[in-house]
Structure 1
Amino acid sequence: MIEFISALLEHSFLQTALLAGLLASIGCGVIGTFVVVKRIAFMAGGIAHSVLGGMGAALYCGIDPLLGALLAAIIAALLIGAVRLQWKAQEDTLIGALWAIGMAIGILFIAKTPGYATDLMSFLFGNILLVPPHELWLMASLDIGLLLIVALYYRQFLAITFDEEFARLRGVPVAFFYLLLLCLVAVTVVLLIQVVGLILVIALLTLPAAIAGHYVRGLASMMLIATLLGSVFTTLGLGLSYQADLPAGPIMILCAGCVYIISAIMRHLFVRYRAHRYAIGK
């Protein structure tokens, strides 16, 4: 890691990559907590993979693929949210269909785009080293927007996350805030595809929050710990990938996955130990 730190001080592209990872970790920690607690990872996956259609269309039209991704993600979030609210019995099938349709549209646009779509491939598989400096401003703006909305409507999001029926009885417009939450998930997906790509985005969205959930129960505490863990995983993954000359995205996910498995095992053993002590005490 000493070699990586030395290179970080010398090369601006590594500094940009590090900042991109830290900015992505903010959305990952805050919105990923809602995804884990509300158990909507499959919906988040549907939104993430539908994004490919928007990126392909944007690249075909000569527009920034990230803007196409943002538009497609929000449209997919609203469609998936409407499916869940109106046709809950067929929820899984319809979300899977939207997932597949989005991927198919993206592949068709890739096929019709002249030349080899290297930028689009980096979004699909992730390449944090190719994040241009001007994209950091967009990522920072999206993070600020996420934090402002969550701060303004924290109590409403808290209510619909834990008990939608109770929230409805208290007069909270559940449908509106549910769709808004899915739109925030869509924005976070766009943040994360810059770092790990569409293929791995759900892992980075859920694993830090899931690890935090092993140790704390408060939503705000989970957000803070998940954000810190996301920062650690992206920074560590970037450093290890630089040392080993390997893709950064998969290394980040491997770091997060290994920590999650170790944490889950330790928590399981601790729960069994407490149960055993309680049984002895009785």
Structure 2
Amino acid sequence: MARALATTLIASIVCAVLSCWLVLIGWSLMGDAVSHAVLPGVVLAYIVGAPFALGAVVFGFLAVALIGAVRDTSRVKEDAAIGIVFTTLFALGLVLISVTPSQTDLNHIIFGNLLGVSQGDLVQIVILGAVTLVVLVAKRRDFTLFAFDPVHAHAIGLNPRLLGAALLGLLALTSVVALQAVGVVLVVAMLIIPGATAYLLTDRFSRMLVLAPAISAVCAVVGLYCSYYLDTASGGMVVLAQGAVFALVYLLSPRHGLIGTRLLARRRRRQLAAESTVESAAESPTESVAEVAAGEAASASLPR
């Protein structure tokens, strides 16, 4: 449980920080594609005895290159190209798992095995998570400018292609970190839900970078403890907790929530109605004096 808690917190925080940029850029579907496309890379790295991160990064960039090639050299649009590439690579990973002789069950890569994290896995997760988080924090200004205005980033001397490639590489590393926690299937939830939740709570990106990991860490602890006492899947409960928080924020957020915006609109209508009533009450004496003056002038003009 101690290793599971440490793994969940690290994966949740790293995924949440990266999710802020994914939500702003609009790379939610790209995050889904890369997180699933790294599966064959992880399996091949296991077969040859290489680090999981190396195989994940190679196949992450391969997926992006294939998506761009299909999009640019055919009539297929980007969303269809993403669906074709990531499902094909994911299927390749499933086939490799089925034919790979192993003393361990490689299905934990797909569904996660949070309670089976070893000491070596935890060390790898700590190293990859630290590297990813340090790069994101150190280059946060450049990544933020790239997310909001790539043209301006290019104008001041930055390379948008290089920044995009760096984000995709960090996305592949983050996917490896989260694989141990929730598996390939649920990685995309941890990469999107925290950033989307924070996006509904604030309009400032600096606050998003604080709210998203905080919400994700709390959901990680709550989900893990609920899975322990309810005897349910740990990774699924963590993601379910994040989804429940998003649902509450979606409904009750003061500025962008479904119920909150309606209450705010109703309050503004009441304020406008009250202000119009006060203005009409203030103007009514003046109008009465004018009407009296007009009446006296009319009566004076009548013949005696």
TM-score by length of 2: 0.80
**The structure with more radius of gyration:** 2
Change (3 A) 1:75 1:173: same
Per the alignment, residue 271 of structure 1 pairs with 261
Per the alignment, residue 289 of structure 2 pairs with none
Per the alignment, residue 46 of structure 2 pairs with 59
- Cα distance in 1 for partners of 2:49, 2:155 equals 48
Of 195, 203, 209 in structure 2, the residue corresponding to residue 209 of structure 1 is 195
Change (3 A) 1:264 1:85: farther
- Cα distance in 2 for partners of 1:233, 1:22 equals 9
> CA RMSD for the aligned pairs?
2.4
**Runs of 5+ unmatched residues, structure 1:** 1-13
Q: Does 216-225 or 179-188 show the bigger shift?
A: 216-225
Q: Does 26-35 or 79-88 show the bigger shift?
A: 79-88
Residue 151 of structure 1 pairs with residue 128 of structure 2: no
Residue 169 of structure 1 pairs with residue 155 of structure 2: yes
Task: After TM superposition, give the deviation of residue 277 of structure 1 in Å.
Answer: 2.0
Q: Is the 8 A contact 2:112 2:179 kept in 1?
A: yes
Determine which structure has greater relative contact order: mean sequence separation of CA pairs < 8 Å that are 6+ residues apart, divided by chain length: 1
- Cα distance in 2 for partners of 1:87, 1:65 equals 33
Q: How many residues align?
A: 268
Matches within 5 A, 1:217-232: 217-232=203-218
- Cα distance in 1 for partners of 2:163, 2:97 equals 35
**Runs of 5+ unmatched residues, structure 2:** 273-304
Change (3 A) 1:116 1:66: farther
Task: After TM superposition, give the deviation of residue 107 of structure 1 in Å.
Answer: 2.0
Matches within 5 A, 1:1-282: 14-63=1-50, 65=52, 67-77=54-64, 79-80=66-67, 90-114=77-101, 118=105, 120-266=106-252, 267-282=257-272
- Cα distance in 2 for partners of 1:168, 1:191 equals 31
TM-score by length of 1: 0.86
Q: Is the 8 A contact 1:84 1:91 kept in 2?
A: yes
Change (3 A) 1:148 1:69: same
Change (3 A) 1:240 1:217: same
Task: After TM superposition, give the deviation of residue 101 of structure 1 in Å.
Answer: 2.1
Q: Is the 8 A contact 1:43 1:80 kept in 2?
A: no
Q: Is the 8 A contact 1:60 1:113 kept in 2?
A: yes
Change (3 A) 1:217 1:81: farther
Identity of aligned residues (%): 30
- Cα distance in 1 for partners of 2:113, 2:51 equals 16
Task: After TM superposition, give the deviation of residue 29 of structure 1 in Å.
Answer: 1.8
